[in-house]
Amino acid sequence: MANLRRSIAIDLGTASVLVYMRGKGVIINEPSVVAMDSYTGKVLSVGKEAKKMLGRTPGNIIATRPMKDGVIADFNTTEKMLSYFIEKALGKSFIKPNVVICVPSEITQVQRRAVIQASKFAGAYKTYLIEEPLAAAIGAGVDIGDAGGNMIIDIGGGTTDVAVIALGGIIINRSIPIAGDECDKAISNYIKKKYNMIIGERTAEDIKINIATANLKDDNDLFEVRGRNLINGLPMHVFVTASDISEALEKPLAQIVDTVHSVLEQTPPELAADLFERGAIMTGGSSLISGLDKKIQEKIGIKVQVAEGPVTAVVRGTGKALNWIDKLDSSEMGEESSRKKAIEERMKNNFNY
Rounded CA-CA distance 185/124 in Å is 34
- pLDDT value of residue 329: 57
User: Is residue 67 within a helix (H) or strand (E), and if so which, with residue range?
Assistant: strand 67-68
Collapsing DSSP to helix, strand or coil, 316 comes out as helix
Rounded CA-CA distance 308/229 in Å is 41
HEC string of 281-305? EEECHHHHCECHHHHHHHHHCCCEE
Contacts of 301 (CB under 8 A, 6+ apart): 276
Q: What is the pTM of this model?
A: 0.87
Rounded CA-CA distance 301/321 in Å is 32
Give pLDDT < 70 ranges for the chain. 1-3, 217-220, 326-353
Rounded CA-CA distance 104/71 in Å is 8
Answer yes or no: are the C-beta atoms of 106 and 131 closer than 8 Å.
no
Q: List domains and CATH numbers for the chain.
A: 7-135+314-348 (3.30.420.40), 145-306 (3.30.420.40)
